[in-house]
Structure formats: structure tokens, C-alpha cells
């Protein structure tokens, strides 16, 4: 494994960037800003290497970007209704940065921090300490995100956390993929499979209403691989609320701590495939419905809506306010430990 390290400047200080290249020439670029993924370069079926991750020309442009491109999301991925929740009768107020709701950890979320970093033999370890009261969340939280890049093009992300006070934690990675290649246009022609027979219905602010529903006979049915955009314009409220997919699927037969294949993305023209495994109970799919206007891409072009898809493995959104959902409560002495694997391949 070859590793290169360099730095870039931002208004929050120096960003450390790592490039990991395996024995086959495929590479991953990681950044200490948001403990994020800047680039994944892999071959197509003809052996041509392309970057399959959306990202920006300037490493500092990831700071406060609305798409959260490539970054680690925390303390809480997804939305929390009205930016508030309670633990043991004590109410905690968060930033309301998505209408009246809190989204992806608030304004100064983990995605907008410069993490400490340490190179490893086959990857990078990022670490962060979030103080008690940070963005309104209780407890001092110590977090690590470890990336490992293998010779068979697997990017393993292990996310761990510990707290000194009861709190809620929900971490994920927010990379946008386009298997045709960055700046190759709309991603809606690629195919997606999700291991889920149920999803979470939402209200018009994209908060789960607290019930589950079958995907049967709805645009949410990805149990058989289908083109992402096939039903995206259907007369179906969850799609109309978000101008596309911004929805959560419940992983079938999920068991806490058990790694499971939860989704597959594929592009027929390039032959590239992406298999996603996770220990997390849900898969949230966002089809880049509002990414127009984000910073210029790595090639200097502007992105358009639907140019990439984020497939976020995470806990249930708004679980702190929904006791019927699996809990995301973390207590002192407990360990938060979740894994996501992005495995790239080729079909001919």
C-alpha cells in the first residue's frame, strides 16, 4: 500500500489529506476536514480509471457545504424533530438547521470539524473529542473513524464512540457516488438494490411519522434491482416532499453488531459495481435532489441535481423522539461501534 500525505489551508486551519493507493493502482483520498472521502479512483470494465466520488476542486470548499459531500456525519445523522429530545426527563435543544428540525448534527457538526489524524499501514485513523453541550448534545464524546483500503478495492469504515454521560449517537458516511464517473452527469440511470421490505413514511418536513410501511407496490421497492430514476417522478408523497428520494429503508433481518450486505449500486455502461455492507439498521438513500449550486467539482465543472447518490447506513432518524424505534442512546461504559464497507467490483 502506497501512502501520500499533504496539507491544505482553510479558515479553520490546516487540513491534512491522505492518498492511499493499492497494488492494483486504485486509490482513495481522505481528508481530516470532516474525516471525509474526497476521491475513489477505480477501473471500469475496459481498465480505464475514473473517480467515482463527487467532490470539490478546493479541499477547503468542503467546509459548511450543504451536500455534506463525502464527510462523516455526527453527532446524529438524519433529522431530529424540532431540534429537541429528552433523556431521563431532561430536555436538550439543538440547532434547527433544516426548517424547524435539526439535521446531521447541527451547524458546527462533525462534518465541519478538522479531526486529528494518524496514518496506518493500510489506512488512516481520524479522532475527535466533542465536549459536553457541543451543539446542544449532552456528554463528552470521544469519536474515532478508521478507514482501511484493501487490494481488492474495499473501503472499510469503522466508527467508534464513547461518552461520559448519557447521550445519543448516530454516525454515518455521506459520500456521493456516480459509478459512471465524477462529472459524468445524472446518476438516475444507474441500478440499485436494497435489502429492505419496509421503509419509514415521513411528513412534509421529512421526519418519520413513527410507523413502518411495506415497499410492496410502491416506488420504494428496490428488492429487485431497478433503475434509480424509474419511479422517481411517481405521484407518491414521500418523493414529492423531497423532489426525489430522501428516504430511509429498514434492513431486513437486521441484528445488532452483525455485518450484512444491505445495498448494491451498478452502472451497465462502465461495468462498475458497488456492494455496501453495514452493521447499521437502516439505509438512507438521497439522490442529490438539491446539490446544484454547491462548490465547483474537481474538474472545475458545476454539479447539477441528481449527479450523485448518497447511500447512508445509519440508525433510525428521530429515534430519540420515537421509543418504538431501536434506541441510539449511548451510556457511560458502553461502546458505539459500527462498520460500513464499500466494495467496488466490475461486471462484464
Question: What confidence tens digit (pLDDT) does each residue in 58-110 have?
Answer: 999 999 999 999 999 999 999 999 999 999 999 999 999 999 999 999 999 99
The pTM is what? 0.98
User: How would residue 52 be classed by pLDDT, with cut points 50, 70 and 90?
Assistant: very high
Average pLDDT over residues 252-261: 97
Clarify whether 211 is annotated catalytic: no
The catalytic position among 104, 174, 284, 338 is 174
- Flag whether pLDDT at 257 surpasses 90: yes
- Flag whether pLDDT at 13 surpasses 90: yes
- Flag whether pLDDT at 276 surpasses 90: yes
Residue 256: how many other CB atoms lie within 10 Å? 9
pLDDT for the residue 183? 82
Tell me the CB-side half-sphere exposure of residue 324, using CA atoms within 13 A.
6
pLDDT for the residue 3? 95
CA-angle at 118, arms to 113 and 119, nearest 5° = 125
- Flag whether pLDDT at 116 surpasses 90: yes
Element (H, E) at 194: strand 191-194
Average pLDDT, the chain: 97
What are the b/e assignments for 113-130, b being 16+ CB within 10 Å? Answer: bbbebeeeeebbbbbbeb
78: left (phi over 0), alpha (psi -120 to 50) or beta: left
Average pLDDT over residues 126-154: 98
> Helix, strand, or coil here: 65?
coil
What CATH number did the domain enclosing 231 receive? 2.70.98.10
Average pLDDT over residues 285-312: 95
Number of domains in the chain: 1
Asked which of 180-184, 186-190, 309-313 is least confident by mean pLDDT, the reply is 180-184
What is the residue whose three cell numbers read 431497478? 226
Q: Are 29 and 17 in contact (CB under 8 A)?
A: yes
User: How would residue 2 be classed by pLDDT, with cut points 50, 70 and 90?
Assistant: very high
Question: In angstroms, rounded to a whole number, what is the distance separating the alpha carbons of residues 279 and 102?
Answer: 24
pLDDT for the residue 296? 93
Clarify whether 11 is annotated catalytic: no
pLDDT for the residue 232? 98
Q: Are 31 and 62 in contact (CB under 8 A)?
A: yes
Average pLDDT over residues 277-298: 96
Tell me the CB-side half-sphere exposure of residue 246, using CA atoms within 13 A.
25
The catalytic position among 104, 190, 284, 312 is 312
| Residue span of the structural domain in which 48 resides | 2-346
- Flag whether pLDDT at 299 surpasses 90: no
User: How would residue 182 be classed by pLDDT, with cut points 50, 70 and 90?
Assistant: confident
- Flag whether pLDDT at 184 surpasses 90: no
What percentage of the chain reaches a pLDDT higher than 70?
Answer: 100
User: How would residue 339 be classed by pLDDT, with cut points 50, 70 and 90?
Assistant: very high
Average pLDDT over residues 40-61: 97
Amino acid at each position: 500500500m502506497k501512502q501520500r500525505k499533504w496539507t491544505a489551508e482553510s479558515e479553520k486551519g490546516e487540513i491534512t489529506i491522505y492518498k492511499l493507493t493499492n497494488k492494483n493502482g486504485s486509490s482513495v483520498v481522505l481528508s481530516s476536514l470532516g474525516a471525509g472521502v474526497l476521491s475513489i479512483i477505480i477501473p471500469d470494465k475496459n481498465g480505464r480509471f475514473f473517480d467515482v466520488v463527487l467532490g470539490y476542486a478546493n479541499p477547503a470548499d468542503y467546509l459548511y457545504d450543504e451536500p455534506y459531500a463525502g464527510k462523516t456525519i455526527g453527532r446524529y445523522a438524519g433529522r431530529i424533530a424540532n431540534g429537541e429530545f429528552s433523556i431521563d426527563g431532561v430536555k436538550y435543544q439543538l440547532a434547527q438547521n433544516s426548517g424547524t428540525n435539526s439535521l446531521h448534527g447541527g451547524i458546527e457538526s462533525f462534518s465541519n470539524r478538522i479531526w486529528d489524524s494518524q496514518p496506518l499501514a493500510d489506512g488512516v485513523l481520524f479522532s475527535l473529542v466533542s465536549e459536553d453541550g457541543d451543539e446542544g448534545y449532552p456528554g463528552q464524546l470521544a469519536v474515532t473513524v478508521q478507514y482501511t483500503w484493501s487490494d481488492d478495492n474495499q473501503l472499510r469504515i469503522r466508527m467508534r464512540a464513547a461518552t461520559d454521560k448519557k447521550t445519543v449517537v448516530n454516525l454515518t458516511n455521506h459520500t456521493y457516488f456516480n459509478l459512471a464517473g465524477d462529472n459524468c452527469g445524472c446518476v438516475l440511470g444507474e441500478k440499485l438494490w436494497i435489502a429492505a421490505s419496509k421503509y419509514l413514511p415521513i411528513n412534509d418536513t421529512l421526519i418519520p411519522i413513527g410507523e413502518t410501511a411495506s415497499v410492496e407496490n410502491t416506488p420504494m421497492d428496490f428488492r429487485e434491482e431497478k433503475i434509480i430514476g424509474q419511479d422517481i417522478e411517481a405521484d407518491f408523497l414521500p418523493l414529492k416532499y423531497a423532489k426525489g428520494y430522501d428516504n430511509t429503508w429498514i434492513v431486513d433481518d437486521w441484528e445488532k453488531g452483525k455485518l450484512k450486505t444491505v445495498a448494491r449500486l451498478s452502472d451497465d455502461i462502465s461495468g462498475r459495481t458497488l456492494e455496501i455492507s453495514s452493521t447499521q439498521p437502516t439505509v438512507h438513500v438521497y439522490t442529490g435532489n438539491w446539490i446544484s449550486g454547491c462548490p465547483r467539482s474537481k474538474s472545475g465543472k458545476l454539479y447539477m441535481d441528481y449527479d450523485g447518490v448518497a447511500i447512508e447506513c445509519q440508525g433510525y432518524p428521530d429515534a430519540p423522539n420515537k421509543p418504538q424505534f431501536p434506541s441510539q442512546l449511548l451510556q457511560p461504559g458502553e461502546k458505539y461501534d459500527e462498520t460500513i464497507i464499500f466494495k467496488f467490483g466490475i461486471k462484464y
